[in-house]
Amino acid sequence: MNGRVKGRDMENILKRIVERKKEVIARLLRERAFPPDLHGPYPHSLPFRPHCSFLEALTIGPFPRIVAEVKRASPSKGTLNPGLDPVNQAMLYQEGGAKAISVLTDDHFQGTLNDLEAVAAAVEVPVLRKDFILDPIQLKESLVAGASGVLLIVGILSSRKLSELAEKSLELGLEPLVEIHTRGEMERALATPARIIGINSRNLKTFQVDLGVVETLAPLVPEDRVLVAESGISARGDVERLMAGGIENFLVGEALVRAGDPREKLQELLGHG
């Protein structure tokens, strides 16, 4: 997909992504790729684990703290960086000061689980699996691939499934980042044990971006939760605007993927440029 897509077409794309993911999950369950017991960490051949947890990466040290994202494409904008090498990109992020790495593993973003596995083995910071997580088997899959955290999108999950996935993530030692876009989704997120709340300024149904969403919802989050601003952050001014509202953590993708020098762009966003 190389053209821009808007409006109802994006909502349809989201539905297709979720339906496609259900097919992938059904295959995983048929193949019984992982043991059925999901109540403890997978005991065999886990990859290298970072020196700190995903939660610690977002709470320790000076802010702003940036989770830098590896993605080749976007459903709304098509291919972003056709020659992107996930490991090289992640290493540049780490050198530039990123506190954690997010890796898109969904094929609609031209991502794969192999990308996450390769990145997790190469970097020393925590890695977040960004995908459309619908079933506990994807949590086991994420852990074995080297993830330290997983994205859970409130907008595609029932309240019961959201709570189940958040609880099982924590049981496995994976930190869930629960993503919301509205006040109603915020209430559902806060009803789970998840400690990290991501406020996405991009509406997943229209893919329109509004940083005002973050500014409006951030004050509603209790102090015992960690906040991450997602999407729409492209310049130092965006970071400063949201820091004025108390945001300390930022997930940045497109601006870094498109940058000629991701390290330099990170330094700019961090206020060191």
| Annotation marks residue 268 as catalytic | no
Q: Would you say 214 and 199 are in contact if contact means Cβ atoms under 8 Å apart?
A: yes
Measured distance CA(234)–CA(251) in Å, rounded: 11
| Annotation marks residue 124 as catalytic | no
Q: Which of the residues 21, 53, 71, 163 is marked catalytic?
A: 71
| Annotation marks residue 11 as catalytic | no
Measured distance CA(56)–CA(74) in Å, rounded: 29
Q: Which of the residues 117, 141, 175, 179 is marked catalytic?
A: 179
Outline where 32-85 has alpha helix (H).
54-57
Q: Would you say 172 and 40 are in contact if contact means Cβ atoms under 8 Å apart?
A: yes
| Annotation marks residue 230 as catalytic | yes
Q: Would you say 227 and 55 are in contact if contact means Cβ atoms under 8 Å apart?
A: no
Q: Which of the residues 69, 117, 185, 215 is marked catalytic?
A: 69
| Annotation marks residue 231 as catalytic | yes
> Bridge-partner residues for 176, per DSSP?
150
| Annotation marks residue 249 as catalytic | no
| Annotation marks residue 56 as catalytic | no
Q: Would you say 165 and 43 are in contact if contact means Cβ atoms under 8 Å apart?
A: no
Q: Would you say 64 and 229 are in contact if contact means Cβ atoms under 8 Å apart?
A: no
- In which residue are the tokens 């044990």 written? 193
One-letter amino acid at 248 equals E
Q: Which of the residues 21, 130, 140, 265 is marked catalytic?
A: 130
Helix, strand, coil percentages in the chain from 3-state DSSP, rounded to 5: 45, 15, 40
Q: Which of the residues 163, 230, 249, 265 is marked catalytic?
A: 230
Q: Which of the residues 53, 142, 201, 231 is marked catalytic?
A: 231
- Enzyme catalytic residues: 69, 71, 130, 179, 200, 230-231
